[in-house]
Amino acid sequence: MQSNTFSQLIQTSQTKLNTLLDLTASEAKFEAQLLLLHVLNKDRAWLITHENDVAQSNINEAFQALLNRRLNGEPIAYILGYREFYGLHLKVTPDTLIPRPDTETLVEAALSKIPLHTSQTQNIHQKKTILDLGTGTGAVALAIAKNRPLANVIAVDISQAALNVATENAKSLNISNVQFILSDWLSALNGQRFDLIVSNPPYIEGSDAHLQQGDLRFEPLSALASGCDGLDDIRQIINHAPQHLNAGGWLMLEHGYNQVGHVASLLKQAGFNEVSHVLDLSGVNRVTIGQI
């Protein structure tokens, strides 16, 4: 077998990724580099200075094994076991939804409603309390907790496996102002009230063909699909959230690009005011918010 340099490995795998997964050239090269760096346990700076080194046979075999998994469609986040989100290095497993850049819009919207500083004379009970519904990896809850260390954050999920991942992420990031609770949405919260409730719930239509394509094939269906119109979980959250919000509290929901009108109507029907929308990085209405 002919020996390849690291640069040659990247080039040949880039072509395969570009062709079979329909990635752009830059995306394919980036993914090839990530897979190789994962095998080498090195950073990109090291690779730049060693790109003409010949890959040893064991390195080549390990790299090809990971590349084949990716070429079969397995999400690169599951292969690597992590995903970067809002500056946080998060462990990711097949038990959790893969955090996506669009969801950073939800974090930004939440942070805009939480004061950065709290007066030293302010009573501890007046600190902002935030609830994250369907936390998964803990991405949203941890991003909020990290950037608002005086806030008290509670994050819930119906999956104990997901909560185990989220708890591990909190420990590895040394974020202590977040608590994880096993709950089917709000059912286990026993009348607790919050200043802000955020959620990136399932919102894909159950019959959507995209569920059988790309990365979505590998992710937990329960974290993606929600009834015929994709709004079953959003309806449940909106209907029960007012009982768990302090006066003047906010509910913020991520949703699909074509659901903005439906979500706004549901919020208004449930008694929410100041209903508005937040655009994601692509200019799509990704988050709808309302105040009780």
**How many other β-carbons are positioned within 10 Å of the β-carbon of residue 139?**
29
Instruction: Give CA–CA dist 273/167, Å, rounded.
Output: 34
Contact (Cβ atoms closer than 8 angstroms) between residue 191 and residue 244 = yes
Instruction: Name the helix (H) or strand (E) containing 29.
Output: helix 25-40
pLDDT recorded at residue 1: 47
Q: Tokens 């500083």: give the residue.
A: 117
Question: 0.75 cut: is pTM over it?
Answer: yes
Instruction: Give CA–CA dist 170/137, Å, rounded.
Output: 9
Length of the chain (residues) = 292
Q: How far is CA 236 from the centre of its chain?
A: 21
pLDDT recorded at residue 232: 92
Cα separation values, 48 from 7, 17, 76, 100, Å: 9, 21, 22, 28
Instruction: Give CA–CA dist 31/37, Å, rounded.
Output: 10
Tens-digit pLDDT string for the chain (292 aa)? 457 899 999 999 999 999 999 889 999 999 999 999 999 999 989 999 999 999 999 999 999 999 999 999 999 999 999 999 999 999 999 999 999 999 999 999 999 999 886 555 454 445 899 999 999 999 999 999 999 999 999 999 999 999 999 999 999 999 999 999 999 999 999 889 999 999 999 988 877 776 777 777 887 877 777 778 889 999 999 999 999 999 999 999 999 999 999 999 999 999 999 999 999 988 999 999 999 9
CATH fold group of domain 95-291: Rossmann fold (3.40.50)
Can you name the residues that pair with 88 across neighbouring β-strands?
Answer: 85
SS (HEC) of 152-182: EEEEEECCHHHHHHHHHHHHHCCCCCEEEEE
Instruction: Give CA–CA dist 214/72, Å, rounded.
Output: 10
3-state secondary structure of 60: helix
**How many other β-carbons are positioned within 10 Å of the β-carbon of residue 142?**
27
pLDDT recorded at residue 124: 45
Helix H segments across 201-245?
A: 232-240
The distance in angstroms from the start CA to the end CA of the chain is: 67
pLDDT recorded at residue 247: 96
Q: How far is CA 77 from the centre of its chain?
A: 11
Contact (Cβ atoms closer than 8 angstroms) between residue 69 and residue 253 = no
